[in-house]
Amino acid sequence: MLIETAIGEEIITTNLKQFLLVLSVSLGVATLPQVVGWFRHIPYTLLLVIVGLGLAFVDVRLVTLSPELILFIFLPPLLFEAAWNLRWPELKRNLVTICLYAVLGVVISIAGVAVGLNQLGGISLTTALLIGASLSATDPVSVTALFRELGVGKSLTTMMEGESLFNDGMAVVAFGFLLALSLGNAQLGIQPILLQLGVVIGTGVAVGGLIGFAISYLTQRFDLPMVEQSLTLVSAYGTYLIVEELGGSGVIGVVTTGLILGNFGSRIGMNPRTRVIVSEFWAFLAFFVNSIVFLLIGDQIRFSILGENLQIIAITIATMILMRAISIYLLSSLSAVITQYQIPLPEQTVLWWGGVRGSVAIALALSVPIGLPEREKIIATVFGVVLFTLLVQGLTIKPLLQKLNLLGDAPLREQYSELATRYVALERVLQRLEKDHRPGINPEFYRYQETLIQGEIKNLQGKIDQLQLEYPHLSTFITEQFRDELLAIEADTYAEFVRAGRLNTELAPMLTDVWENGKG
């Protein structure tokens, strides 16, 4: 008994040391772009993959990457954070397109890759389908992080993030069905496929919605930022585990909960200060989890196995990129027919090339049972393709944005925001000085401060006018920013009345409709 206890403690100590080593290396590498100027040209997620590859090349293995580790520990917070920050008005505007990409796009990707591998690579159809399903989900974390940094348009970012969130669930469902089919545990037919798809997605949406709305109304009853922050974390993991236990898609469940809490619960149940605290918490958690996942992806590469399957990997890459192009351009045209809105061709091109693969593909490949024939070929192919998309597509997306003139004016907007914020702050200080004349303070002090602040306000106004003169298109950003402030004030007022019990339901901001009608 003592020997078993000692062995158990030794295993725990070893695992803890490995985890701390991974944590130290990943966070150290992830902070390099913020410290060293040259590294800012590379998204931190790709930098982590490159460092992981270097460790794999010298055969330094930090920890064994299991599918359970990704799916149950890493995936829920990544999904929740993305859904929390996805704004419903933007999502609703592009919902038809996103659903087409996430559903039909996955089917096209699986079918195309499977046929290509079967006909050109001589791979059995069963194995080819599993490879196609593993690689059907996009994971554009590094791409969307670059979008935000460069100020790329909201619509393009929303479409890429929304597709990724929804096609994760579709890919997991498709992979599970194809795996069960290969093991003889499922029937091939339209009716059983649709039935299983309905049950899996329906369970995820139902449970995710129930938990999301329950926590939204629960947080109305108190104002405790730490508790509300903890509830969002519990909801992410709790939703995933409960939905999976009920036979649904945990991915769909977490996305549903995150969307509800981010767009509804945070408005009616959290004051502005708490929303900021919770958002910052999730931003750090996503950074933390991504740092570990992408380092481990690079570190798990086995170069010898990749070399043995180079031909299969090359065929998979070619067919996957081709199918991605077909699905994006074809489904964008279909979306235009349905919605009467044509996505610009440059944006379609970015959506095509930016469809990189990542952690979900790795987790699905690793979850293939050991007894299944050609398991090692599936894993090697998926790892090779993921590596290509992260390094080649991920590192070339910025030059592509430049070539297509889609780079945003983030530095210019930031400069304006700083000037405008300082202007508003000094205006408030001036108002306070004019109203608050306290006894015992020399009037000369008030006059001096007023003169000083008025001079600085005039200086700031001149800089703002100069910016607007040099960059006329900046007026659009200024209008949008002011509109967002007005919407926030309106939504916060409704939420305040709901919390006070003076209103039973959350009202949708009227200004949203006014703005959209005005644009139309």
Give the CA dihedral 61, 63, 69, 73, nearest 10 degrees: -120
Where is average pLDDT lowest: 28-42, 131-145, 214-228, 469-483? 28-42
Of 27 and 95, the structure prediction assigns the larger pLDDT to 95
The answer to whether residue 7 scores a pLDDT higher than 90 is no
Give the mean pLDDT of the chain.
81
Tell me what pLDDT residue 197 has: 78
Query: Average pLDDT for residues 233-250, to the nearest whole number?
Result: 91
Tell me what pLDDT residue 175 has: 87
C-alpha separations of 455 from 173, 429, 434, 437, 489 in Å = 63, 13, 16, 21, 30
The answer to whether residue 378 scores a pLDDT higher than 70 is yes
310-315: which pairs have CB atoms within 8 A and are 24 or more residues apart?
A: 310/384, 311/121, 312/117, 312/121, 312/123, 312/377, 312/380, 312/381, 313/380, 313/381, 313/384, 313/385, 313/388, 315/116, 315/117, 315/120, 315/121
pLDDT in tens, 430-459: 888 877 777 777 778 878 888 888 889 889
Give the CA dihedral 395, 396, 399, 404, nearest 10 degrees: -140
* Residue linked to tokens 């909801």: 235
The answer to whether residue 372 scores a pLDDT higher than 60 is yes
Of 10 and 211, the structure prediction assigns the larger pLDDT to 211
Tell me what pLDDT residue 185 has: 67
Of 32 and 97, the structure prediction assigns the larger pLDDT to 97
Query: 363: closest CA among 49, 74, 47, 140?
Result: 74
Tell me what pLDDT residue 420 has: 85
pLDDT-above-70 percentage for the chain: 82
**Alpha-carbon span 75 to 208, nearest angstrom:** 15
**Alpha-carbon span 231 to 235, nearest angstrom:** 6
pLDDT in tens, 92-151: 888 999 999 998 999 999 999 999 999 998 899 989 999 999 999 888 776 777 777 666
Contact indicator for 167, 351 with CB cutoff of 8 Å = no
C-alpha separations of 165 from 254, 470, 480 in Å = 10, 39, 26
pLDDT in tens, 8-17: 566 556 656 6
The answer to whether residue 409 scores a pLDDT higher than 70 is no
Reported as a pLDDT band with limits 50, 70 and 90, residue 520 is very low
The most confident of 184-188, 295-299, 325-329, 500-504, by mean pLDDT: 325-329
Query: 241: closest CA among 367, 369, 68?
Result: 68
**SS3 state at 57:** helix
Beta strands in 108-219 (DSSP E): none
